Amino acid sequence: MRLFDDFYVYPWVSYQENNCNTIFVDGPVPTLIDPGHAHLFHHVMDGMAQDGKAVERVKLVICTHGHPDHIEAIDRFDNGVLKAISKEEYQYLGEEGKELFLMTGCQMPKKPFKLFLTEGQVKLGGRTFRIIPAPGHSPGSICLYWEEKKLLVSGDTVFYMGVGRTDFPGGDMETLGRSIEQISKLAIEYLVPGHGELLKGKKAVNRNFEMILGEFF
């Protein structure tokens, strides 16, 4: 689904099995954000094919955090594709982050991450995204903010009328609240979460933040 320009969203809409929303940013550095579960990756391939895009063009994969439903399919990409995650989340994956993979019977990534994201800007061709640390759902979760379009890729930090779980290993509700309060101050007109429906429009996004901060925190 083309949102605008070369920015595509492939939302997961099945209630029978859990998986994340996946994002593709085309251009000089074709980038996939959160590839999802390995056995459900056909969902991404099919969606991209319908938009005339080939998965083989992907040069960079960014993961907002290290839970299986966001990163398991990363091993479908060979070592010629650069894989990125925050340094804190990479450390978490090597420690208590392993527990969730064991609990769910998923496979830990075997092909290594080689790019470690820190707070600041990342350029994808002519587009500049801001990496925003957003711990709470997991210790090294990040959001990506495209200021030009006032668009936030929120991962599992915040959803439409909901927030990421904090009962998984490494989760912390108080920390999550601080992260959400921080990103709520951004000028956002498009909220693209890791699960569920997208939000469009400044008023709708602001109302969502107000509801979440009031009800959950």
Q: Is 215 helix (H, G, I), strand (E, B) or coil?
A: helix
pLDDT band at 34 (very low <50, low <70, confident <90, very high): very high
| Residues 198/190, Cβ–Cβ less than 8 Å | yes
Position 103 scores a pLDDT of 86
Average pLDDT on 6-34 reads 95
Tokens of 130: 């801001």
The ranges assigned to domains in the chain are 2-216
> Quick check: 55 pLDDT over 90?
yes
Q: Work out the angle at residue 55's Cα, subtended by the Cα atoms of residues 153 and 189, and round it to the nearest 5 degrees.
A: 20
Phi, psi values for residue 69, rounded to 5°: -75, 0
Position 60 scores a pLDDT of 96
Phi, psi values for residue 85, rounded to 5°: -160, 165
Position 107 scores a pLDDT of 85
pLDDT band at 16 (very low <50, low <70, confident <90, very high): confident
Q: What CA–CA distance (Å, rounded) separates 168 from 213?
A: 21
Position 146 scores a pLDDT of 97
Position 186 scores a pLDDT of 98
Position 71 scores a pLDDT of 96
Task: Write the CA distances from 65 to 19, 41, 85, 140, 141, integer angstroms.
Answer: 14, 17, 7, 6, 5
Tokens of 52: 């005339």
| CB-based contacts of 146-149 (< 8 A; 24+ apart in sequence) | 146/7, 147/187, 149/4, 149/5, 149/7, 149/189, 149/190
Model confidence over 140-192: pLDDT tens digits? Answer: 999 999 999 999 999 999 999 999 999 999 999 999 999 999 999 999 999 99
Position 104 scores a pLDDT of 87
**CATH 3.40.630.30, applies to 2-216:** no
What's the mean per-residue pLDDT of the chain? Answer: 95
Instruction: Please name the helix (run of DSSP H) or strand (run of DSSP E) that holds residue 10, with its range, or none.
Output: strand 7-10
Model confidence over 143-157: pLDDT tens digits? Answer: 999 999 999 999 999
| Residues 170/92, Cβ–Cβ less than 8 Å | yes
Please give the residue that has the higher pLDDT: either 5 or 215. 215
Q: Is the pTM of this model over 0.85?
A: yes
Position 13 scores a pLDDT of 92
Lowest mean pLDDT among 52-66, 114-128, 180-194: 114-128
> Quick check: 46 pLDDT over 90?
yes
Tokens of 165: 């779980």
